[in-house]
Amino acid sequence: MAQRQRAEQGQGPEHGQGRGQGQRARKARLTARDWADAALAAIGEGGGLAAVAVEPLAARLGTTKGSFYWHFANREALIEAALARWVEANTDEIIAAVETEPDPEKRLRRLFTKVTGITPVTRSATADPLELSLLASTGHPQVAAALRQVTERRIDYLAGLFSEVGFPEDEARRRGLMAYSFYLGHTQLGHAVPSALPSPEAFPGYLEATMDALLRRE
pLDDT digits (tens, 9 = 90+) for 111-162: 999 998 655 454 444 568 899 999 999 999 999 999 999 999 999 999 999 9
Q: Which residue has the higher pLDDT, 12 or 175?
A: 175
Give the pTM: 0.81
Q: How many domains does the chain have?
A: 2
Q: Is residue 69 part of a domain?
A: no
Percent of the chain scoring above 90 in pLDDT: 67
- 34 domain residue, yes or no: no
Residues 23 and 102 in one domain: no
**pLDDT tens string 190-200:** 888 988 988 88
Domain that residue 19 falls in: 1-29
The reply to whether 41 falls in a domain is: no
190: which residues sit within 8 A by CB, 6+ positions away? 118, 123, 124, 126, 127, 197
Question: What does pLDDT average to over the chain?
Answer: 86
Position 186 in a domain? yes
Chain-centre distance for alpha carbon 119? 20
φ/ψ of 179, rounded to 5, equals -65, -40
Whether 192 maps to a domain, the answer reads yes
pLDDT of residue 127: 63
Whole-number Å distance between alpha carbons of 106 and 17:
58
Residue 138, in any domain of the structure: yes
Strands (E), 51-177: none
165 and 86 assigned to the same domain: yes
Q: Which of residues 77 and 197 earns the better pLDDT score?
A: 77
